Each structure stands twice: as structure tokens, then as C-alpha cells.
Structure 1
Amino acid sequence: MDKIVGLCHFLGDRTPRHVPLVEPKPRRPNPWRENDRVIVAKVTAEGDIRDSTEQVLARLGGLNRAIGRGNRVLVKPNFNSPDPFPGSTDLPFLRTVVQILLEAGASVTIGESSGGVWRPSRKVFRKVGLYELGHTLGVDVIAFEDNPKDWVRVKIKGDYLDSVTMPRAAYEADKLVYLPCMKTHSMSAYTGALKLAFGFVHPGERRAYHMGHLQEKLAEVSLCWQPDLILMDGRKAFVSGGPDTGELVEPGLLLASGDLIAIDVEALKVLLSYKARNRLPPDPWQLPQIASALKHGLGAGEGGYILLG
């Protein structure tokens, strides 16, 4: 029954009319650099998740370089489906990140929109305990599609997209924090930081993305804005299948960066270190979403970042 309801949502979604047309958010310089190269921080995460998260932030250079008191922060987890981590964001990890942001003096909202036959998002949120977590922490949890008026259409100059309908809550936030999982994907080969932004796109637009050049379109979504901080949970990962279920491995890692391309390339290297049947190219830079993101200047190129860890 749940999948029938979800299918009805999937087929019935329509992009709202008469939403404001806006320019992309101004891009801020990446504050985490060393010797003029952006940083990807990596730590082994075997014990307490709070300790590991603090360690990776310290290795990156400190949260206060980008986020501090008074900032309105939107945290974007991965709740495409209600499946357990790494099919979805690990709730204790999400709790830890939100607590660290609150302790830094930021105000926090958690926002997400689930995918495909798993919608409506609020059903997924209830199943995974997201609303309960928000209540406990005193932060708002929003399903982007719940209010049809809370959208903007962002003008971009992509090869395949000239605008993207995105949530007003994300567009108006002072800072954006992405919490991608590390995994392969049955349709886009890989899902990480770049692919996480697809969860912002209005559900009524998403179907058309699958009609061709999916990976390139996924990258072009990030022409709307870039995250201020990316924390990738690689304690567990899928090396085939995905995004909801797949062949499970346990790299035992946390990655952090302010660069979409660099963190995804490092995550791809981790996945490629396992023998598995998947659609990943042997060279991460050959993955279409990475190549497209690089073409559009969405992050560091080869040799343009440094791995600390």
C-alpha cells in the first residue's frame, strides 16, 4: 500500500506555476585551504561519533571558518527512502552535527524531500524518527514539497538545464550543510555530495532528468548554489546497488570538505578500492557527473585539492 501511495505522488507531482524567478546564490570562497589548495579531511571513525565528527572538523580547519553565531543553517541529510544507513542518513550522526551547529550559535533547520515511490516525505520522516529528533533538539524539520508556494525558480546556464525549481528555505538560508552517504546508485552510478542536491529539486521536475544525460543534469543543479560544508558519513557504504539497498562494506571513515568535486572524488576512490560489480569508471574523474561539475567550475580539478588524513 505504501508503494502505491508513493507511486501516486510520483506520477501526480506537478511543478508549481508562478514561482519567483531568481539568480543563483552568490558563491563564497572556500574557507578551508592549504597552500592555495582546497582541503578534504579524512578520519577513521571507529568509536564515538561525536569524537570522530569533531576530529574531522578540526582536521579541516574548524567549523568557525564558515559557520558561527547567528547563522541560519539548513542541514540537508539523505532521506530519499526510509532504509537504514547507508541507505539513509544515520540519525545519531545527524543529531551530532545539529548539536555541534547549535553549540556554535547557529539556528538550524533540517530540510529534505524524499524520492520516487517513497514519498510523501513526511511518511519517510516519521518512519526514521526524524520528526522526533527535531522535537528533541528544538529544530524545525521541513519536507520541501509540503508547501507548494515555498519555491523559487533559479536561472542557470547549464548545457541541459536553464532553470531549476528549488526550495525557498534553502535559497534563503545563510549557510548550507550537506550530509551525504557514500554509495553507488543504480541509475546515476554514484551518489554523494553532488547527487545530494537532487533532493532539493521540485519532485515535479525530477522525472524529466531521467530522460537523458542524468549525471550531467545532477551536476548542473549545483549551479544554483554550493554548500558551505559537506560532512560525508563513510563508516558504511554500498559498493554495488543503491541508493536504498546494496552490497554493504564498512570503510569506517568520515570525510569533510567545502568542495563538492574533491570530496566526491575521494569517496569514489574509497568505493573503487573494493572489488564489486558496479558502473563506476576506474578513474573517478571520468564519471560524467564529476566531469560535468568540473566543466562548470563547481570545484577543484585534479591537483587542486589536498587530502588531510
Structure 2
Amino acid sequence: MDERTVFVEGVLPNSESLSASIKKVLLKSTNNLEWLSKGDLVLLKPALNSPNPYPSTTHPLSVKVVKEVLTEMGAEVVVGDQSGLKDVLQDSSGVIHGKTQDNYTKSGMGTIEDRFISFESEGWEEGFIHYQSQHTRSWPKGFYATRWIKEADHIINLPRLSTHSQGGVTLGFKNMVGILRDDSRMDFHANGPFNNFIKNEAHGSNLKSVDDGSDTFIEKIVEINNAIKEKLRTTLFVATKAQTTFGPNTNALKIGKLEIGKAHVVKLKPGLVFASNDPVSTESFAIAILKDLRKNLPSLPRLSSELLLFSNNNVTKLDETPINDMKFIRHAIDIGLGEMPTQLIYNNIPESLKKRLKEYI
């Protein structure tokens, strides 16, 4: 199997059809889990930035079906993440507020009976390891990531399809921000737009925000993925809905009950399940879908996004920049994370959609 193949299934909204498609795409993108041995530990990394339901977080069936398939094959499966600073805050003194496992259940992603690991619950020193390599030069001092990336034999990335108020998109690469310790989260956000909001979310902690002047916000995000490169087996999206403005949460800013910049949600027709064992190929295809969806963005959501995010070029570049010229993709290729897709294998996808996506890729 060509590692740069993206497998794409068109799906109906009913759960039976969707579950079957998730299983089919998982097995195709991993060559029937050829790397799995009985007893191997597999870490599933969903997008759980907040307690908001899908599509602000990963589709619940994505986690459920992948976990069931792996368990049936004899794997030991752990689902793990750490939510964003607004909902879960930790510093060297301990957890200040929030628990990612609570967000796991509140979002509808899973239940309290699941084996879920809140990365912050593992301890500041004990729960995180230092990572640095020749491919993480935007992190001159390296970064701290959950110890579970070392403990796991394999990792499966389960993002959601969404735009992002700071990064432009929040897809497979951005999903790995959830493996970082909060001091490292502060480090990369300091290079990004709207960092004052991040500093406000860290209020009450001893976390520091120091802009090193390198302007490497996107590069830092991409380079986090180098820490899981050798263990990442597939990146799988379930996209029956997508957020096409703002993100990652349901709004750009919430003050009490007041929501500013509500994310525009689109229902995909057909819904899509897609995956590849090449993370750059998957990311490229996900960006193509967002580009296509945003072409039909209604005037009011578009205007709202432009007014509130006018100073952020990352959002503008999503629509205007060819995929292979986007900083997310270009830097990922430069540091050896993968390549643009060489093959798209479709099932139950309209010819008109195939044609449009081909133009982007």
C-alpha cells in the first residue's frame, strides 16, 4: 500500500452506516492493523479541547468504533488527552482547575467506565517527558509531552474537522497540542495571534508567557508531531459536520453566558470518513474539504469572522493559499513528517465533489 494514499468513504448520518465506514477506513488505512500484536498498548488521541460536543470535539463514534476494533484484535486501548487552558489548568504546584475526564463525558465522547487518561492527572514531573530533536528547532529548549507517548506501542490520531481562530485550522497536527504540558502550551501560544486571551486563561497559575520573537507559532505546532512520528499509525477523521468559522470551541470568546463569534457549523452531504497513515496526506485532504466548504460560507458568518479575526493572517491564508504552500503543510514536509497525497481512493463520493477536491490537491 502506498503510504500517501487517503481512503475516503461517503456516509449516511445513521450510526450503523457510519460505524461500518469507520471500521472499513481504519482497516484500509492500516493495512488491516498489520503492525498490531496481541497485548500492544494503543493510545487514541481525540480532540477534546473543551466539554463542547461534536463537531467542536471528536465524533463519539470515532472513539467508540476504533476502540472496539482494536480491543477485538487483542490490543490494550487507552484514550487520553488534556483540554485547553480555559477548561483545565495545571502548573508546577498541581492542577488548579478542571479535569479532562469530565470533559470526555460532558462532550458525549465517552463514559466514566472507559479507560480514559487525563494527562494532567499524571503529575507535573512524573506525567511528562522532555522531547527535543533536530526536527524541533522552533523549540530551542524542546517541549514537555505526556509520558503516554513513550508508554504506548502505537498511536492513532482522531481529530475533528474545524477552523481555528488562531491557527486558521485545527486538524491532525493541531490535535497534538493536547499532549503538551501547560508550560509548553504557553511557549508556542506566545508566538501566536491573540495571545492575551491565552494569558488571561492562565490567570491564577505560575505559568509564564514569553514571546521569543521567532514568529514560529505554526512551526511549533507542526513540530510537536515529530515526537509521535515513529508510533503514529493513522490519522482518521469522521466528518459528518464541520466548523467553518472560528473554533476550536463553539465560539471565539465566552464571557459569562455571552458568546461572541459563534462557530458556523455545516452538515456535510455526504458525510465523510477519511484516513491515511501519512499525516501530511491526511492534513492536506482535510484542508481541501474546509476550503471547499468555506466557498459556500453564508455572508453573515463570513462577515462575523472577518470582523473579529481581521488581524489574523492564518485565517485569511486558509482561503487564499494553495495547500502545498500553506505553512502547516510546507513545514511538515520539510521536517520529514510526510508528503502530499499521491492517491485518493473514494467510495460513495459524488463525481462533482471529487473534481473540486482534485483542484485543491
TM-score, normalisation: structure 1: 0.82
SS at match of 1:223: helix
Contact 1:256 1:263 in 2 (8 A): yes
Cα distance, 1:104 vs structure 2: 1.3
2: CA distance, partners of 1:101 / 1:305: 28
CA RMSD of aligned residues (A): 1.8
1:197 to 172, 176, 195: 176
| Runs of 5+ consecutive residues of structure 2 not aligned to the other structure | 89-97, 192-215, 251-262, 303-314, 347-361
Cα distance, 1:85 vs structure 2: 0.7
Alignment-derived partner of residue 358 in structure 2: none
Alignment-derived partner of residue 242 in structure 1: 247
Contact 2:278 2:338 in 1 (8 A): yes
Contact 1:59 1:308 in 2 (8 A): no
2: CA distance, partners of 1:235 / 1:130: 15
Query: Over residues 147-193 of structure 1, what are the superposed CA-to-partner deviations in whole Å (9 max), with x where a residue is unaligned?
Result: 22121101222231141211111222000011000111000001111
Count of residue pairs the alignment pairs up:
269
Q: In percent, how many aligned pairs have the same letter?
A: 26
1:270-289 paired onto structure 2 within 5 Å: 270-274=289-293, 275=295, 276=297, 277=302, 278-279=315-316, 280=318, 281-289=320-328
| Runs of 5+ consecutive residues of structure 1 not aligned to the other structure | 1-32
Contact 1:80 1:199 in 2 (8 A): yes
Contact 1:87 1:243 in 2 (8 A): yes
Task: State yes or no: 1:170 paired with 2:145.
Answer: no
Higher mean C-alpha displacement, 86-95 vs 58-67 = 58-67
Contact 2:48 2:83 in 1 (8 A): yes
1:1-309 paired onto structure 2 within 5 Å: 33-34=1-2, 38-46=4-12, 47=14, 48=16, 49-60=18-29, 62-119=31-88, 120=98, 121-129=100-108, 132=111, 135=113, 139-148=114-123, 149-157=126-134, 158-162=136-140, 163-212=142-191, 213-226=216-229, 227-245=232-250, 246-251=263-268, 252-274=271-293, 275=295, 276=297, 277=302, 278-279=315-316, 280=318, 281-301=320-340, 305-309=342-346
* 1:59–1:142 Cα change, 3 Å: closer
Cα distance, 1:74 vs structure 2: 0.6
Code of the aligned partner of 1:255 = F
Query: Over residues 42-76 of structure 1, what are the superposed CA-to-partner deviations in whole Å (9 max), with x where a residue is unaligned?
Result: 00121422211122234436332233422110111
TM-score, normalisation: structure 2: 0.70
Contact 1:183 1:271 in 2 (8 A): yes
* 1:173–1:59 Cα change, 3 Å: closer
